Amino acid sequence: MPKIYLIDVTNRDGVQTAKLGLSKLEKTMVNIYLDEMGIFQSEFGFPTTRHETNYLQANVELAEMGVIKNLHLEGWIRAIVADVETAFKLVPRLKHLNLSISTSEQMIQGKFQGRKTRDDIINEMTRAVDAAWAHGAETVGVNAEDASRTDLDYLLKFGVTAKEHGASRLRYCDTLGYDNPFTIYETAKALAEEVNIPIELHCHGDLGMAVATSLAGAKGAIDGGQDAYINVTVNGIGERAGNADLVATILAVTKSKGFAEKYKLGGSVDLTKAWKIAKYASYSFDVPIPINQPGVGSNAFAHESGIHADGVLKDPENYELYGFEELGRGEPELVDTGRQISAGEYSGVSGFSHVMGKMEVKFASKEEAQEILELVRYANVQAHKPLVEQELLFIAKYPEVARKLLTLVP
């Protein structure tokens, strides 16, 4: 039976969102947390963008060192040969790529404005896929941007041609969140049956249905005989109204009525890491988690009304579908409350040693402490906020990788 895998796109769709961004160290921590959680793949950034180069190389190195263990690190570029060439020039050891091009009539007319025909789009895509293989890519996904507004016959032709050139997966992008669960089910099933490769579902929340359409699309792909890869972001952060939320999607797949009897997550996803990654993304993006967010919102397990409180005390299952422990809630906060001595861009070695000492990190010499502190200061300049324990530990443990992440040379 085909399965459902998760591809997190926080480090691409999330960071390209208006008014939001992450430092390179923060993006790295997101990858590390996704890996700990057992997520299949992270779309970890933009290989043709110069300020991403050191970050992308450093993360590929972390994977080679075994610090990032199972997570696939995949770069996102346009489906044109020039982008493939640049990507492998800047990040030579890149293994996984997704190539994106618009396929809808709206985009062909409205975006390309007559410069590209439907055939041009397919030709550019296939040349880019061929180039990616020639450069030694291990997997090459092909993205149909605005697929939900693309006429199905053309989309099928696009997918079949991608498959003929060896594409590993076809990403069906509901770029504007236009689909509903009924329409995406039919389309995903048709794509799986006719194109005959695994289908990615990339859904947005403009109509409030990103998780629902993702599930329905996954069901369509599996009913059509193919694995489904749902694109998610941490806390649903993404363009406009956002993407399918990572935690809500896992909950919906595993806990909704009867779904998991037939449609199962592949690999081993550890839901108890949900709390940690959601809190971290909220802190690093500086975007609070809505109180009613599934699983991780502050009200997700709060009961006040008499009937509900009484019911949940008698048996939690009266008013809860899942327990708070399952999400890893209740761990210490990322940032100290009460008295704080934080490590920042103007910290001194004494305060810094105090902070690190609390985490049982001891330095061999004052020089070593000074050197790590220097890196912490730079990280703080980029993040504009006190670093969390895991970030400080990362810098202390992998100072050379941290130095590379923090180096931005225009």
Verify binding: residue 13, Zn ion, rule CB under 5 A.
Answer: yes
Residue 303 CA, distance from chain mean position: 32
Nearer to Zn ion, 12 or 219 (CB): 12
Minimum Å distance from CB 240 to Zn ion?
9
**Alpha helix stretches (DSSP H) within 235-315:** 246-255, 274-285, 306-314
Q: Minimum distance from CB of 238 to Zn ion (Å)?
A: 6
# binding residues, Zn ion (CB under 5 A): 1
DSSP 8-state assignment for residue 233: B
Q: With respect to Zn ion, which residue has the nearer C-beta, 13 or 52? A: 13
Are 355 and 256 spatial neighbours (Cβ–Cβ below 8 Å)? no
State in angstroms the smallest separation of the CB of 296 from Zn ion.
Answer: 22
Backbone angles phi, psi at 252, to 5 degrees: -65, -40
Distance spanning both ends of the chain, measured CA to CA? 49
26 binds Zn ion (CB under 5 A): no
The two tokens of residue 2 are 């085909």
Of 235, 327, 253, give the one whose Cα is nearest residue 37: 327
The residue sitting closest to Zn ion, measured at its beta carbon, is 13
Distance CA(395)–CA(402), nearest Å, equals 6
| Range in contact with Zn ion (rule: CB under 5 A) among 9-17, 70-78, 119-127, 401-409 | 9-17
Judged by CB, which is closer to Zn ion: 212, or 373?
A: 212
Instruction: State the nearest-atom distance from the C-beta of 174 to Zn ion, in Å.
Output: 9
Q: What is the CA radius of gyration of the chain?
A: 22
Under rule CB under 5 A, residue 245 binds Zn ion: no
DSSP E strands: which ranges in 86-127? 96-102
- Region binding Zn ion by CB under 5 A among candidate stretches 6-14, 18-26, 205-213, 285-293: 6-14
Q: Between residues 8 and 13, which has the closer beta carbon with respect to Zn ion? A: 13
43 contributes a contact to Zn ion by CB under 5 A = no
**Residues forming the site for Zn ion (CB under 5 A):** 13
